[in-house]
């Protein structure tokens, strides 16, 4: 049978295996149509937000949201207003960038270290710590307990560390790393390195990590999304405006549009600024500014992200 398949393949005819795996043109068309609709469903909200952000505020008040803009209804006042508040907005964006960068690097290191240790069968406390990490996936300590620990015991309130440390490690990411190392890193490679005299640190950083790009990219993407979109930590623990992230500022604006008037320009009162500010378009402009940077990062990690999510899948 194998010889027949080979002969057919050499003669230019499709093999039996290829014929069995071939997708019918009609099925392929519907698959393409489905994925096109899903892609548009993800892309259109971003486009819609951008259109609203460049629509004149008076048009939004009288006609509501519209999925098109003309030369008469277009306006750049929202972005012009954001430019006048660039010091506040850029400061908040810089906080988000720092938190995302530091938190992602720290989280990847801690998560992969924990996952690698739990993947080693010779580690005696492997079962105990696996259960200890698995429990938080089901039960949580509650908001009051975490607030008391972070503010009264660890004294992390109103510091940059409170925006980084609580989100650095999650049980879900540790399980992903553990599964990847168990199913992908051969024990023979680890044993060979030990026979050559390599320490555990050398094995991890020089052998394991270089061949673990899929799981590194997957965890990094999860962490980057989590840090970039987080506003809850700022709302709970941050009182200093200089430490608020861009997302926290956006959330504050959505609740109270007077947020940007805390630093009024010279010669203008807060009421004047509120009256002049294009409220709805400013909201959408900041939402667009928040969403675009992290959306542009995803395509570069997509290949590794898919590989990391399929860790442990049944291979044919």
pLDDT reported for residue 109: 93
**Which tokens is 220 given?**
């990094």
How many angstroms separate the CA atoms of 25 and 308, rounded? 30
Tokens representing 143?
């908001």
- pLDDT reported for residue 6: 46
Two tokens at 78?
């929202």
- pLDDT band for 113, please (50, 70, 90 cuts): very high
> How many angstroms separate the Cα of 66 from the Cα of each of 40, 60, 221, 288, 304?
17, 8, 33, 16, 38
Residue range 36-57: average pLDDT?
A: 85
Q: Which residues contact 187 (CB under 8 A, 6 or more apart)?
A: 121
Angle at 166 between CA 163 and CA 169, to 5 degrees: 125
Phi, psi of 74 (to 5 degrees): -75, 145
What is the full DSSP assignment across 180-208? HHHHHS-HHHHHHHHHTT--HHHIIIIII
- How far lies 32's CA from each of 20, 29, 37, 75, in Å? 20, 5, 9, 37
Structure tokens at 186: 């051969």
Residue 198 has pLDDT above 70, yes or no: yes
C-alpha 136/C-alpha 170 separation (Å) is 9
- Supply 84's token pair: 């006048």
Question: What proportion of the chain, given as a percentage, has pLDDT over 70?
Answer: 79
Question: b/e map of 257-282 (b: 16 or more CB within 10 Å)?
Answer: bebbbeeeeeeeeeeebeeebbebbb
**Average pLDDT of the chain?**
78
97-106, 256-265, 306-315: which is most confident: 97-106
Task: Write the DSSP string, 48-96.
Answer: HHHHHHTB-HHHHHHH---S---TTTB--HHHHHHHHTHHHHHHHHHHH
Q: What is the mean pLDDT of residues 187-192?
A: 84
Given the structure tokens 């899948």, which residue do they identify?
313
The alpha helices in the chain, defined as continuous H runs, are: 2-10, 16-21, 25-53, 57-63, 77-84, 86-119, 126-134, 143-148, 171-184, 187-195, 200-202, 213-229, 232-237, 246-255, 270-276, 279-309
Q: Looking at residue 104, what is its pLDDT?
A: 93
| Stated pTM of the model | 0.73
State both tokens at 159.
């510091």
Band (pLDDT 50/70/90 cuts) for residue 1 is very low
Q: Residues 261-294: pLDDT tens digits?
A: 455 544 445 555 555 556 677 778 877 877 777 7
């Amino acid at each position: 049978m194998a010889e027949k398949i080979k002969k057919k393949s050499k003669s230019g005819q499709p093999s039996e295996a290829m014929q069995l795996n071939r997708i019918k043109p009609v099925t392929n068309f519907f698959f393409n149509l489905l994925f096109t609709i899903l892609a548009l469903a993800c892309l259109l909200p971003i486009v819609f937000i951008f259109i609203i952000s460049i629509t004149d505020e008076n048009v939004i008040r009288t006609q509501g949201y519209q999925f098109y803009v003309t030369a008469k209804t277009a306006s750049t006042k929202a972005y012009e207003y954001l430019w006048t508040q660039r010091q506040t907005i850029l400061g908040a964006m810089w906080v988000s960038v720092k938190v995302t960068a530091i938190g992602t690097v720290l989280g990847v290191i801690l998560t992969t270290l924990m996952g690698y240790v739990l993947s080693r069968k010779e580690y005696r406390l492997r079962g105990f710590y696996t259960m200890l990490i698995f429990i938080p996936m089901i039960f949580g300590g509650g908001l009051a307990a975490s607030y008391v620990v972070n503010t009264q015991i660890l004294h992390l309130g109103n510091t940059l560390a409170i925006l980084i440390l609580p989100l650095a490690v999650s049980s879900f990411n540790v399980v992903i790393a553990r599964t990847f190392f168990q199913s992908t890193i051969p024990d023979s490679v680890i044993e060979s390195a030990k026979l050559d005299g390599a320490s555990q640190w050398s094995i991890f950083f020089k052998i394991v990590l270089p061949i673990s790009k899929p799981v590194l990219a997957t965890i990094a993407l999860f962490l980057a999304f989590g840090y970039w979109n987080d506003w809850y930590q700022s709302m709970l623990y941050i009182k200093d405006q200089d430490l608020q992230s861009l997302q926290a500022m956006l959330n504050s604006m959505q609740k109270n549009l007077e947020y940007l008037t805390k630093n009024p320009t010279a010669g203008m009162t807060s009421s004047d600024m509120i009256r002049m500010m294009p409220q709805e378009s400013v909201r959408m402009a900041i939402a667009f500014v928040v969403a675009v940077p992290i959306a542009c990062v995803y395509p570069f990690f997509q290949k590794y992200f898919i590989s990391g999510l399929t860790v442990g899948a049944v291979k044919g």
